Amino acid sequence: MTAPPLDDTYFMKQALAEARTAASEGEIPVGAVIVCNNQVIARAHNQTELLNDATAHAEILAVTAASGTLGAKYLTECTLYVTVEPCVMCAGAIGWAQLSKVVYGAGDEKRGFRRYAPQALHPKTVVLSGVLEAECAEEMQKFFRERR
């Protein structure tokens, strides 16, 4: 049996698993993983309810964990996979950490950084959107459907 290819889809599935964990904990289902040299070095999901902290977004927690793993504040050789387009706050953190690539699934028309702060990321950061977009969007829609 061969191992699955380590590509954007593979790593987004890892982020989706984090999003599902968030939903099971009553958190908005956003999941993130940070990959360096084809290895997941950090994984996180929203924990704003658990930590009673509006800044405890998946991306922020993943950046903090990755920095700890690497012992470095700059993540220049790393890729962030996140199920939903980062908000302005998270985009700022991603920019300061200088991640080389950001891959997200579903866009966020209401709070996404591309609408409000399209220059927030580091100028060299490559952005790829729409990876497993339908699955990522469905996690959010399902979460909010169940709460109405």
Looking at the annotation, which residues are catalytic? 59
Q: How far apart are CA 77 and CA 146, in angstroms?
A: 39
User: Phi then psi for 48, rounded to 5 degrees?
Assistant: -65, -35
Q: How far is CA 124 from CA 54, 57, 62, 86, in A?
A: 28, 23, 20, 17
Q: How far apart are CA 126 and CA 112, in angstroms?
A: 16
